[in-house]
Amino acid sequence: MNLQFDDTIVALASAPGAGAAGLIRISGSEILPYLSACFESDADWQQQPRRAMRHPGELKLAGSETRLPGALYYWPTSRSFTGQPLAEFHTVSAPPLLEAAIEELASQGARMARPGEFTLRAFLAGRVDLMQAEAVLGVIDAHDHEELNLALSQLAGGVSTRIGRARIELLELLAELEAGLDFVEEDIEFIDRATLVSRLEQIRLFCEQLYADSAQRMESSGSLSLVLAGLPNAGKSTLYNALVGDAQAALVSDVAGTTRDYLVTPLNWKGQSIHLIDTAGLETGAHAISVSAQNFRQAQTQQADLVVWCTAADLPSELRAEDREQCTRLAETRNVLTVRTKCDLSPAADSEHAVPADAELEISVAEGTGLEALQDRILERLSEAHRGGRQLIGSTASRCRESLRSAGQSLQAAEEAAEMQLGEELVAIEIREALQHLGSIVGQVYTDDILDRIFSKFCIGK
């Protein structure tokens, strides 16, 4: 990869095809001659070289006397996004006219930008770190509000700032350890072992938390998994049909154990992508088909982001203890929402057959009650489960996972060396290793191959 970026690049920065507006972006160490040759304005914009300005005017089109009206936003100094003079021309979205305008700029000597080159220049200029650069692509590729908010948070530097603080903390520890090495004969201790171990432990736990998050992101398919579970004949398939909006989606019968396979339907609720899954009722398999159904059910519930446990209002009294036990056991390892179904069949409150109302929600598909509240509660619980836990977009998790694991191992080794009263030089070696790994995450340490792999995924103009 050629990392010399003194030449001037130009590209269409808005989406291709018709749209609300068109955007042409141009950047380089000397872009003023290109703009002067192609852009015309009543304002004397070339005499204001020290601050960003908006200038109404027109851009010439290649091969004709036609002018494309719009506004030029011009950042004449290194304080721009790319760290060098940058201009953006905002105009109407007319693909042939935009292409002609780009051709006119190219005829003056500007070259077409490579994929991700504007963001790459911003990274090399120190305007963004590597995680923030990846977040630019994350914003573009976000498929729902959760993904967008996660990418925006990473773009704002939330995780990068925390990693930066960890690196500063490690550098301070390293400085104190090496200062102690210079005065080893005087028996001067610049930092006591208990404090050293405690500070190393805090940074290690942070790295391990990010590593766990990266593992979760690698396993995630994007959409969240919502599983309906419960004992046989708990109304799961009826509820599944109601949530899907298709009364024939799943076979419904009063005969317990009707569902043997599992059904999956992709949904989009208020911008959140969800895979809704109906599973067989929980029971002890007596033959091969039943055993297979239970294996499917267990596999789906163990991978679920949220399990809706359905308890029928007319559940026989001899099954109540089992229902409660199975729900409690599942809730120990999974995110579970308890729902009381078939409330239209509920026995009288004073009846000995009445089911205790310990569920979070009560619904009746037959009467159409509680379904909207259930949908809202599901979205709330899914949001709670992922809010704060997820800190990395998928591409960053994939790239940084091994570095986070190695950083945690180095810090663990440094802790152990400090606890065992081994020499400061051994602790310092492990801290340097951790610094190297953390530096590669934010881009303090990088290679051409890493940059090629990241920025080749970008579209032209970003």
Q: Is 149 a known ligand-binding residue?
A: no
Nearest C-alpha neighbor of 243 from the set 263, 257, 258: 263
**CA geometry: angle 32, 34, 38, nearest 5 deg:** 115
Beta bridge partners of 40: 58
Q: Is 255 a known ligand-binding residue?
A: yes
Q: Is 281 a known ligand-binding residue?
A: yes
Q: Is 237 a known ligand-binding residue?
A: yes
b/e 275-298 (16+ beta carbons within 10 angstroms → b): bbbbbbbbeeeeeeeeeebbebbe
The residue assigned the tokens 């090496």 is 178
Q: Is 253 a known ligand-binding residue?
A: yes
Q: Is 235 a known ligand-binding residue?
A: yes
Q: What SS3 state is found at 40?
A: strand
Own/partner contacts of 11-14, CB < 8 Å, gap of 24 or more, are: 11/102, 11/112, 11/113, 11/117, 11/118, 11/460, 11/461, 12/98, 12/99, 12/102, 12/460, 12/461, 13/88, 13/118, 13/461, 13/462, 14/93, 14/98, 14/461
* Residue 369 DSSP symbol: B
Q: How far is CA 179 from the centre of its chain?
A: 41
b/e 410-429 (16+ beta carbons within 10 angstroms → b): bbbbbbebbeeeeebebbbe
- Integer-rounded Cα Rg, in Å, for the chain is 30
Q: Is 236 a known ligand-binding residue?
A: yes
Rounded Cα–Cα distance for residues 255 and 33 (Å): 80
Q: Is 284 a known ligand-binding residue?
A: no
What is the number of other CB atoms lying within 10 angstroms of the CB of residue 358? 10
Q: Is 462 a known ligand-binding residue?
A: yes
Q: Is 88 a known ligand-binding residue?
A: yes
Q: Is 254 a known ligand-binding residue?
A: yes
Q: Is 44 a known ligand-binding residue?
A: no
Q: Is 369 a known ligand-binding residue?
A: no
Q: Is 126 a known ligand-binding residue?
A: no
Q: Is 77 a known ligand-binding residue?
A: no
Q: Is 259 a known ligand-binding residue?
A: yes
Q: Is 127 a known ligand-binding residue?
A: yes
Please report, in range form, the residues annotated as the binding site for (6S)-5-formyl-5,6,7,8-tetrahydrofolate: 25, 88, 127, 462
Please report, in range form, the residues annotated as the binding site: 25, 88, 127, 233-238, 253-259, 278-281, 462
Please report, in range form, the residues annotated as the binding site for K(+): 233, 253, 255, 258
Please report, in range form, the residues annotated as the binding site for GTP: 233-238, 253-259, 278-281
Please report, in range form, the residues annotated as the binding site for Mg(2+): 237, 259
